[in-house]
Structure 1
Amino acid sequence: MRGGVAALAVAALASGCAQDASEVRGAAGQQPLQAPPARALDAYASKLRAAHAARVAAAKRWKLEKVPLTAPPPPAKKPEIKARKGFEVTGQKNLPPVFTSIPTKEKIVFLTIDDGAEKDPAFLRMMSELKIPYTAFLSDYLAKEDYGYFKKMQDRGVTLNNHTLHHPYLPGLSYAEQKREICGMQDVIEKRYGERPTLFRPPYGNYNRDTLRAAKACGIEYAPIWNEEVFADHWDYREWDRKIHPGDIVLTHFRGEDDWGGTMRDMVREFLDKVTAEGYAVARLEDYL
């Protein structure tokens, strides 16, 4: 363990010293890059050990089978996001793409949580202590019961996105009605949380061309849906092979024991135990868009 941490520390500190070294070479000719001072290495290694120990302790505290894996850094160049084949709409270009995964070869998945019914403080603590990123899609008719809960979520680095005002079946509404649902939620999130979202998830994953036209008019750039859905005690799959794939978007909901056979914390354990066992880390969706 100590050797591995030290090796990481050497690499990180050597990288951080590269600019200083290049300045030295420019001023005094070609000189080799010097190893970082031993004290700096020890300090950095100590920080790495402490961070790892905290993750181990959090995994044990929240009764996970293993320590969750850490996602790799997001790519410097964002992947090109296109509508999933068969999910396109006809008649207009440059609409927000509807997609179920991010194109990547990395073993990562993205956790997204919809609506806002359950407001469990322990869930916030669990996700913060485990340092698991996730993306929220809120509907106002549920979020308004406690806007402060989602402000705490935002303060922890979670992006709050659009899931309409009242969670209707959008294809059954006119263009104007759909626009009121989507733009109205944009206004609510901006008023309460200071930012207008660029991500929108249509309720039930149902949409038509008017949905995406309205979303674009309201400032939406992407319409991610999902490839898997996780509950407190099981998973559902979109794909025939019933497997997780690199870049998959996973859906769950703010729900508790009244709707599920368990709590939000049970759902997180169901989710993390499976993805970790299969060698996947959880990444932040917005970092890839």
Structure 2
Amino acid sequence: MLTRVPTRDRVVFLTIDDGSHKDPQLIRMLRELQVPVSAFLSDYVVRDDYGYFRELQKLGVSLNNHTLTHPDLRELSYEDQRKEICRQQVILEREFGVRPWLFRPPYGNYDQETLRAARSCGVRAVPLWTEEAFPDRIESADEKGELHPGDIILTHFRGRGEWPGTMPDMVRRVLARATAQGFAIARLEDYI
């Protein structure tokens, strides 16, 4: 489990969770700007349009495990946690041709049984986050709002119905903050 990747490089990582809102403008923006992103998908909100995520995958977005149904894993038995994680591994491999080695527990909630279950499913790393990005703000662990090398930025696949803006608005905010502080966005899997 990690909240920050150990590196001296002036890079941060953009990660997007769940998969409920499938904004075609996000695909266009990531294609044009070549922004590296790591997605953590839950099948219950992804299965209605695997094609959207195949398009993201073609752009180099890595597709990782965020469980089948997005439960608080701490409330489940070891076997039920294992089902949530391992079955999602199987679905992601079937649909996208790659078995993920990264896993993010929903809500960032986990226990030792979660980590044990994840390992048994082939997970090698469990990245959490240090910042959370929205279209109108970035909430930071740092009181001054400063980024640090290796910070992991969390956001979600959301749209105007749930946010005061769009996914491209959120990406613009992240890029502006990172650029203003002298950081580049890097691919999480390249540093773990």
Please report the TM-score for the alignment, with normalisation by the length of structure 2: 0.98
Establish whether residue 223 from structure 1 lines up as the match of residue 133 from structure 2.
no
Establish whether residue 270 from structure 1 lines up as the match of residue 170 from structure 2.
no
Task: Report the equivalent of 1:156.
Answer: 59
Task: Report the equivalent of 1:128.
Answer: 31
- Pairwise CA distance, 1:104: 1.3
Structure 1 residues 19-43: Cα deviation after superposition (integer angstroms, max 9, x where no partner): xxxxxxxxxxxxxxxxxxxxxxxxx
Paired residue secondary structure (1:99): coil
Q: For residues 268 and 158 of structure 1, what CA distance do their matches in structure 2 show?
A: 14
Q: For residues 121 and 232 of structure 1, what CA distance do their matches in structure 2 show?
A: 16
Structure 1 residues 95-149: Cα deviation after superposition (integer angstroms, max 9, x where no partner): xxx1011111121100000000110111111011101101000000000010000
Structure 1 residues 125-174: Cα deviation after superposition (integer angstroms, max 9, x where no partner): 10111011010000000000100000111111111000000000000000
Establish whether residue 113 from structure 1 lines up as the match of residue 16 from structure 2.
yes
Q: For residues 238 and 170 of structure 1, what CA distance do their matches in structure 2 show?
A: 24
| Aligned pair partner of 1:180 in 83, 89, 96 | 83
Query: Aligned letter for 1:223?
Result: V
Paired residue secondary structure (2:17): strand
Q: For residues 236 and 172 of structure 1, what CA distance do their matches in structure 2 show?
A: 27
Task: Report the equivalent of 1:193.
Answer: 96
Query: Aligned letter for 1:278?
Result: Q
> Is the 2:30–2:59 contact (alpha carbons within 8 Å) kept by the matching residues of 1?
no
The structure that has the greater radius of gyration is 1
- Pairwise CA distance, 1:240: 4.2
List 4+ stretches of structure 1 deviating above 6 A: none
Task: Report the equivalent of 1:146.
Answer: 49
Q: For residues 91 and 142 of structure 2, what CA distance do their matches in structure 1 show?
A: 35
> Is the 2:146–2:181 contact (alpha carbons within 8 Å) kept by the matching residues of 1?
no
- Pairwise CA distance, 1:229: 0.5
Establish whether residue 259 from structure 1 lines up as the match of residue 140 from structure 2.
no
Task: Report the equivalent of 1:236.
Answer: 139
Name the % identity.
55
Query: Aligned letter for 2:184?
Result: A
Task: Report the equivalent of 1:62.
Answer: none
Q: For residues 166 and 251 of structure 1, what CA distance do their matches in structure 2 show?
A: 19
Q: For residues 124 and 283 of structure 1, what CA distance do their matches in structure 2 show?
A: 17
The higher relative CO (CA closer than 8 Å, separation ≥ 6) is in: 2
- Structure in which a larger fraction of residues adopt helix: 1
Task: Report the equivalent of 1:206.
Answer: 109
Paired residue secondary structure (1:185): helix
Structure 2 unaligned regions, length at least 5: none
Structure 1 unaligned regions, length at least 5: 1-97
- Pairwise CA distance, 1:190: 0.7
**Aligned residue pairs: how many?**
192
Query: Aligned letter for 1:176?
Result: E
Task: Report the equivalent of 1:66.
Answer: none
Q: For residues 233 and 241 of structure 1, what CA distance do their matches in structure 2 show?
A: 17
